[in-house]
Each structure stands twice: as C-alpha cells, then as structure tokens.
Amino acid sequence: KDGTNQLRASAIACNTQLGRTAGAITTELDDIVYSPIAHHTLIALRTAHSHRPYNVVNDCFYRLECQLLRPGIQLPSNRTVSANVQRLYLGLAVYAAKHLQV
C-alpha cells in the first residue's frame, strides 16, 4: 500500500508543479458507443479499480444483467479479464513513468 500512496503523492506533486489538476475517470455516458473491446476494457478497469475478483464475470446475476441489457453478449472469461488487467497495468505503467519524469 505504501507504494501506491507514494505513487499517488508523486503524481499529485508533479501535477501541481506542472500546473495541472489531477484528472478523474470520466463517467460521462453521452458519447459512448458499445464495442466488445470497450466492454472488456471496462470490465478490467472495474475489477482493478474496485478490487473485485476476476471471476466476477462468472456471477450468474452479472451474466443475466448483461444479457438483459445486450442480448447475445459474449462475456470474457476470468482468465481474459486477468490478462486484460495485466495488459492495462503494463501499458499504463509506461505512461505513468513518462508522466512522472521531471
């Protein structure tokens, strides 16, 4: 946990030094268009951000909800969610390292 807090503190200090405000994750839904890739990314982000297990996609009520909202949807497996979270972490780690270089 100390590593996360230190990273957050460093990011805030860097943004302050550069005159930027820390950006929040957008939750605006007006311009979002469905795609399976965007949905898989959103599942990975939600599991990482909310500290949820990767097998949340196996939950019967979650699967029913998704079918209700988008009949015929193919949800990723928990292994795919895990791999997507790892890909996001690796990609964002490079971005964060570049951002934190002063």
The Cα–Cα gap between 10 and 92 comes to: 16
Mean pLDDT value of segment 19-48: 75
DSSP label of 20:
-
Q: What is the pTM (predicted TM-score) of this model?
A: 0.64
pLDDT digits (tens, 9 = 90+) for 54-66: 999 999 999 999 9
If one compares 62 and 15, the residue with the highest pLDDT of the two is 62
Average pLDDT score, the chain: 81
Per-residue pLDDT band for 25 (boundaries 50, 70, 90) equals: very low
Q: Is 54 exposed, middle or buried (0-12, 13-18, 19+ CB in 10 A)?
A: buried
Closest CA relative to residue 42, chosen from 90, 2, 33, 21? 33
pLDDT of residue 29: 64
